[in-house]
Amino acid sequence: MRIQMGLWLILLFVAFVQVWILCSRGKHPKDTRGYRRWLLRRKGKALFRLVCCVGLCALVAVGPEVAKGVGERIPFVEKAEAFVAEKVEPKAKQPDWLCYYNQTEEPWGSQTYGPVDLIADTGCGPTVLAMVVSTLSEEAVTPKEMADWAYENGYCSIGSGSFHTLIGEGLSSFGFSNHAAQTEEEVKEALQNHQLVIALMGEGHFTGSGHFILLCDIDEKDTVFVADSNHKENMEQRWPLEMILEEAKPSPVTGSAFWIVETPVEQTENEP
Protein backbone atom coordinates (compact mmCIF):
# COMPACT_ATOMS: atom_id res chain seq x y z
CA MET A 1 0.00 0.00 0.00
CA ARG A 2 2.89 2.41 0.84
CA ILE A 3 4.57 1.67 -2.49
CA GLN A 4 1.32 2.44 -4.28
CA MET A 5 0.95 5.76 -2.44
CA GLY A 6 4.55 6.67 -3.25
CA LEU A 7 4.01 6.02 -6.94
CA TRP A 8 0.86 8.11 -6.82
CA LEU A 9 2.76 11.08 -5.33
CA ILE A 10 5.60 10.86 -7.86
CA LEU A 11 3.23 10.64 -10.82
CA LEU A 12 1.09 13.50 -9.53
CA PHE A 13 4.20 15.69 -9.14
CA VAL A 14 5.39 14.88 -12.67
CA ALA A 15 1.89 15.54 -14.03
CA PHE A 16 1.78 18.89 -12.21
CA VAL A 17 5.10 19.89 -13.80
CA GLN A 18 3.84 19.01 -17.26
CA VAL A 19 0.67 21.04 -16.75
CA TRP A 20 2.79 24.00 -15.65
CA ILE A 21 4.90 23.65 -18.81
CA LEU A 22 1.77 23.57 -20.95
CA CYS A 23 0.47 26.76 -19.32
CA SER A 24 3.75 28.71 -19.40
CA ARG A 25 5.31 30.40 -22.39
CA GLY A 26 8.85 29.47 -21.44
CA LYS A 27 11.94 31.65 -21.07
CA HIS A 28 12.86 31.67 -24.72
CA PRO A 29 12.95 35.24 -26.12
CA LYS A 30 9.84 35.90 -28.13
CA ASP A 31 11.68 37.72 -30.85
CA THR A 32 14.02 34.83 -31.58
CA ARG A 33 13.57 33.14 -34.90
CA GLY A 34 11.78 29.76 -34.59
CA TYR A 35 10.25 30.58 -31.22
CA ARG A 36 6.79 29.27 -32.10
CA ARG A 37 8.20 26.03 -33.41
CA TRP A 38 10.27 25.58 -30.27
CA LEU A 39 7.25 26.31 -28.06
CA LEU A 40 5.07 23.80 -29.88
CA ARG A 41 7.71 21.11 -29.53
CA ARG A 42 8.11 21.87 -25.85
CA LYS A 43 4.38 21.73 -25.14
CA GLY A 44 3.96 18.66 -27.32
CA LYS A 45 6.52 16.80 -25.26
CA ALA A 46 4.88 17.99 -22.06
CA LEU A 47 1.48 16.79 -23.28
CA PHE A 48 2.93 13.39 -24.15
CA ARG A 49 4.49 13.07 -20.69
CA LEU A 50 1.22 14.13 -19.07
CA VAL A 51 -0.73 11.44 -20.95
CA CYS A 52 1.87 8.87 -19.87
CA CYS A 53 1.48 9.97 -16.26
CA VAL A 54 -2.29 9.68 -16.41
CA GLY A 55 -1.95 6.20 -17.90
CA LEU A 56 0.48 5.14 -15.19
CA CYS A 57 -1.82 6.53 -12.53
CA ALA A 58 -4.67 4.45 -13.90
CA LEU A 59 -2.42 1.38 -13.99
CA VAL A 60 -1.37 1.89 -10.37
CA ALA A 61 -5.03 2.28 -9.42
CA VAL A 62 -6.39 -0.84 -11.17
CA GLY A 63 -3.26 -2.98 -11.14
CA PRO A 64 -4.00 -4.76 -7.84
CA GLU A 65 -7.57 -5.48 -8.96
CA VAL A 66 -6.33 -6.92 -12.26
CA ALA A 67 -3.80 -9.07 -10.45
CA LYS A 68 -6.52 -10.20 -8.08
CA GLY A 69 -8.75 -11.10 -11.02
CA VAL A 70 -5.99 -13.13 -12.64
CA GLY A 71 -5.38 -14.93 -9.39
CA GLU A 72 -9.07 -15.72 -9.04
CA ARG A 73 -9.26 -17.00 -12.64
CA ILE A 74 -6.97 -19.96 -11.94
CA PRO A 75 -9.35 -21.83 -9.60
CA PHE A 76 -12.23 -20.87 -11.91
CA VAL A 77 -10.48 -22.54 -14.86
CA GLU A 78 -9.78 -25.60 -12.75
CA LYS A 79 -13.46 -25.82 -11.79
CA ALA A 80 -14.50 -25.45 -15.44
CA GLU A 81 -12.14 -28.21 -16.54
CA ALA A 82 -13.43 -30.48 -13.80
CA PHE A 83 -17.02 -29.77 -14.87
CA VAL A 84 -16.23 -30.61 -18.51
CA ALA A 85 -14.43 -33.78 -17.45
CA GLU A 86 -17.55 -34.92 -15.58
CA LYS A 87 -19.70 -34.38 -18.68
CA VAL A 88 -17.45 -36.35 -21.06
CA GLU A 89 -18.62 -39.92 -21.18
CA PRO A 90 -15.90 -42.59 -21.13
CA LYS A 91 -15.51 -44.69 -24.24
CA ALA A 92 -17.94 -47.57 -24.49
CA LYS A 93 -16.65 -51.09 -24.02
CA GLN A 94 -17.69 -53.90 -26.32
CA PRO A 95 -19.36 -56.69 -24.34
CA ASP A 96 -17.06 -59.69 -23.94
CA TRP A 97 -19.68 -62.13 -25.21
CA LEU A 98 -20.39 -60.27 -28.47
CA CYS A 99 -18.92 -61.49 -31.75
CA TYR A 100 -18.42 -58.33 -33.79
CA TYR A 101 -17.83 -58.11 -37.54
CA ASN A 102 -17.09 -55.03 -39.60
CA GLN A 103 -18.35 -55.25 -43.17
CA THR A 104 -15.58 -52.97 -44.50
CA GLU A 105 -12.71 -55.04 -43.15
CA GLU A 106 -10.83 -57.75 -44.99
CA PRO A 107 -10.99 -60.47 -46.08
CA TRP A 108 -14.72 -59.99 -46.85
CA GLY A 109 -14.95 -56.20 -47.32
CA SER A 110 -13.79 -56.34 -50.93
CA GLN A 111 -15.73 -59.51 -51.74
CA THR A 112 -19.10 -59.47 -53.44
CA TYR A 113 -22.61 -59.64 -52.07
CA GLY A 114 -24.53 -60.98 -55.02
CA PRO A 115 -23.20 -60.60 -58.57
CA VAL A 116 -21.72 -57.08 -58.40
CA ASP A 117 -22.15 -55.34 -55.01
CA LEU A 118 -19.42 -55.30 -52.40
CA ILE A 119 -20.02 -56.42 -48.85
CA ALA A 120 -18.31 -53.20 -47.70
CA ASP A 121 -20.99 -51.15 -49.48
CA THR A 122 -24.27 -53.05 -49.10
CA GLY A 123 -23.59 -55.96 -46.74
CA CYS A 124 -24.87 -54.59 -43.42
CA GLY A 125 -27.80 -57.05 -43.32
CA PRO A 126 -25.73 -60.24 -43.73
CA THR A 127 -23.02 -58.87 -41.44
CA VAL A 128 -25.44 -58.12 -38.59
CA LEU A 129 -27.06 -61.52 -39.06
CA ALA A 130 -23.62 -63.14 -38.94
CA MET A 131 -22.93 -61.33 -35.66
CA VAL A 132 -26.09 -62.73 -34.05
CA VAL A 133 -25.57 -66.28 -35.25
CA SER A 134 -21.90 -66.31 -34.26
CA THR A 135 -22.64 -64.80 -30.85
CA LEU A 136 -25.53 -67.05 -29.87
CA SER A 137 -24.37 -70.34 -31.31
CA GLU A 138 -21.24 -72.47 -31.43
CA GLU A 139 -21.07 -71.92 -35.18
CA ALA A 140 -18.96 -69.00 -36.43
CA VAL A 141 -20.45 -67.60 -39.62
CA THR A 142 -18.49 -64.90 -41.44
CA PRO A 143 -20.09 -61.95 -43.28
CA LYS A 144 -19.04 -63.49 -46.62
CA GLU A 145 -20.64 -66.84 -45.78
CA MET A 146 -23.84 -65.10 -44.69
CA ALA A 147 -23.82 -62.86 -47.77
CA ASP A 148 -23.55 -65.91 -50.04
CA TRP A 149 -26.37 -67.63 -48.15
CA ALA A 150 -28.56 -64.50 -48.41
CA TYR A 151 -27.96 -64.20 -52.16
CA GLU A 152 -28.61 -67.89 -52.82
CA ASN A 153 -31.90 -67.70 -50.92
CA GLY A 154 -33.18 -64.57 -52.65
CA TYR A 155 -32.62 -61.95 -49.97
CA CYS A 156 -30.11 -59.80 -51.88
CA SER A 157 -31.58 -56.62 -53.38
CA ILE A 158 -28.99 -55.92 -56.05
CA GLY A 159 -27.71 -52.37 -55.87
CA SER A 160 -29.48 -51.47 -52.61
CA GLY A 161 -28.56 -54.05 -49.98
CA SER A 162 -30.97 -56.64 -48.59
CA PHE A 163 -34.71 -57.25 -48.58
CA HIS A 164 -36.07 -56.72 -45.08
CA THR A 165 -37.29 -60.30 -44.95
CA LEU A 166 -33.65 -61.35 -44.55
CA ILE A 167 -33.65 -60.61 -40.83
CA GLY A 168 -36.68 -62.50 -39.56
CA GLU A 169 -36.52 -65.40 -42.01
CA GLY A 170 -32.73 -65.56 -41.75
CA LEU A 171 -32.84 -65.86 -37.97
CA SER A 172 -35.48 -68.58 -38.22
CA SER A 173 -33.43 -70.47 -40.80
CA PHE A 174 -30.48 -70.57 -38.41
CA GLY A 175 -32.64 -71.78 -35.53
CA PHE A 176 -33.44 -68.58 -33.64
CA SER A 177 -37.00 -67.65 -32.79
CA ASN A 178 -37.68 -63.94 -33.17
CA HIS A 179 -40.42 -61.41 -33.66
CA ALA A 180 -40.86 -57.82 -34.78
CA ALA A 181 -41.36 -55.46 -31.85
CA GLN A 182 -44.56 -53.43 -32.03
CA THR A 183 -43.95 -50.98 -29.17
CA GLU A 184 -41.03 -49.00 -27.79
CA GLU A 185 -41.55 -50.58 -24.38
CA GLU A 186 -41.10 -54.00 -25.95
CA VAL A 187 -37.70 -53.01 -27.33
CA LYS A 188 -36.56 -51.64 -23.97
CA GLU A 189 -37.79 -54.70 -22.10
CA ALA A 190 -35.98 -57.04 -24.50
CA LEU A 191 -32.70 -55.17 -23.99
CA GLN A 192 -33.18 -55.22 -20.23
CA ASN A 193 -33.63 -59.00 -20.49
CA HIS A 194 -30.24 -59.20 -22.23
CA GLN A 195 -31.68 -60.03 -25.64
CA LEU A 196 -30.16 -58.92 -28.91
CA VAL A 197 -32.22 -56.55 -31.04
CA ILE A 198 -31.60 -55.87 -34.73
CA ALA A 199 -32.67 -52.35 -35.74
CA LEU A 200 -33.34 -50.83 -39.16
CA MET A 201 -32.19 -47.22 -39.03
CA GLY A 202 -33.26 -44.33 -41.24
CA GLU A 203 -31.54 -41.02 -41.89
CA GLY A 204 -29.71 -39.74 -38.84
CA HIS A 205 -26.59 -40.49 -36.82
CA PHE A 206 -26.02 -43.96 -38.29
CA THR A 207 -26.91 -43.61 -41.95
CA GLY A 208 -28.13 -41.30 -44.67
CA SER A 209 -30.68 -43.78 -46.01
CA GLY A 210 -31.06 -47.27 -44.51
CA HIS A 211 -28.79 -49.39 -42.32
CA PHE A 212 -29.07 -52.45 -40.05
CA ILE A 213 -27.39 -52.22 -36.63
CA LEU A 214 -27.32 -54.50 -33.59
CA LEU A 215 -28.46 -53.27 -30.16
CA CYS A 216 -27.37 -54.80 -26.86
CA ASP A 217 -26.37 -54.09 -23.28
CA ILE A 218 -28.70 -51.31 -22.06
CA ASP A 219 -27.77 -49.62 -18.78
CA GLU A 220 -29.63 -47.78 -16.02
CA LYS A 221 -29.40 -44.53 -18.00
CA ASP A 222 -31.20 -46.14 -20.95
CA THR A 223 -28.11 -45.89 -23.13
CA VAL A 224 -27.30 -48.77 -25.45
CA PHE A 225 -24.17 -50.29 -26.90
CA VAL A 226 -24.53 -50.32 -30.70
CA ALA A 227 -22.65 -52.84 -32.82
CA ASP A 228 -22.40 -50.90 -36.08
CA SER A 229 -20.96 -53.02 -38.88
CA ASN A 230 -20.11 -50.02 -41.07
CA HIS A 231 -18.92 -47.34 -38.63
CA LYS A 232 -16.64 -48.67 -35.92
CA GLU A 233 -16.37 -45.23 -34.31
CA ASN A 234 -20.05 -45.48 -33.34
CA MET A 235 -19.02 -48.21 -30.91
CA GLU A 236 -16.85 -45.81 -28.91
CA GLN A 237 -19.86 -44.36 -27.12
CA ARG A 238 -23.20 -45.46 -25.79
CA TRP A 239 -26.33 -44.18 -27.52
CA PRO A 240 -29.60 -43.01 -25.91
CA LEU A 241 -32.35 -45.50 -26.64
CA GLU A 242 -34.78 -42.62 -27.16
CA MET A 243 -32.67 -41.26 -30.02
CA ILE A 244 -32.42 -44.70 -31.63
CA LEU A 245 -36.19 -45.11 -31.44
CA GLU A 246 -36.69 -41.72 -33.10
CA GLU A 247 -34.31 -42.43 -35.99
CA ALA A 248 -35.43 -46.01 -36.63
CA LYS A 249 -37.17 -46.65 -39.97
CA PRO A 250 -40.11 -49.10 -39.83
CA SER A 251 -39.99 -51.81 -42.46
CA PRO A 252 -43.01 -52.02 -44.79
CA VAL A 253 -42.74 -55.79 -44.45
CA THR A 254 -43.24 -56.00 -40.68
CA GLY A 255 -44.43 -52.48 -39.79
CA SER A 256 -41.62 -52.36 -37.24
CA ALA A 257 -37.98 -51.33 -37.28
CA PHE A 258 -36.88 -53.85 -34.64
CA TRP A 259 -36.40 -57.61 -34.61
CA ILE A 260 -36.03 -59.14 -31.16
CA VAL A 261 -34.03 -62.35 -30.93
CA GLU A 262 -35.79 -64.58 -28.41
CA THR A 263 -32.71 -66.45 -27.23
CA PRO A 264 -31.29 -64.48 -24.28
CA VAL A 265 -27.62 -63.61 -24.05
CA GLU A 266 -25.84 -64.90 -20.95
CA GLN A 267 -23.68 -62.06 -19.64
CA THR A 268 -20.21 -62.82 -18.32
CA GLU A 269 -18.87 -61.73 -14.95
CA ASN A 270 -16.41 -59.40 -16.69
CA GLU A 271 -19.10 -57.46 -18.44
CA PRO A 272 -19.31 -53.80 -17.32
Whether the per-residue pLDDT at 47 is higher than 50: the answer is yes
Q: Would the pTM of this model clear 0.85, i.e. be above it?
A: no
Rounded to whole angstroms, how far apart are CA atoms 218 and 108? 30
* Lowest-pLDDT range of 35-49, 89-103, 120-134: 35-49
For the segment 68-78, the average pLDDT, to the nearest whole number, is 51
Say what the pLDDT of residue 95 is. Answer: 93
CATH-assigned architecture of domain 112-264: Alpha-Beta Complex (3.90)
* Lowest-pLDDT range of 90-99, 157-166, 243-252: 90-99
Q: What is the pLDDT of residues 85-116, one digit of tens each?
A: 444 456 888 999 999 999 999 999 999 999 99
State the pLDDT confidence band at 82, using cuts at 50, 70 and 90. Answer: low
Domain ranges of the chain: 2-87, 112-264
Whether the per-residue pLDDT at 147 is higher than 90: the answer is yes
Question: What percent of the chain stands above pLDDT 70?
Answer: 67
Query: How distant, in Å, are the alpha carbons of 94, 136, 226, 238 from that of 220?
Result: 17, 24, 16, 12
Mean pLDDT rounded to a whole number for the chain: 82
The set of long-range contacts for 78-85, using a CB threshold of 8 Å and a minimum separation of 24, is: none
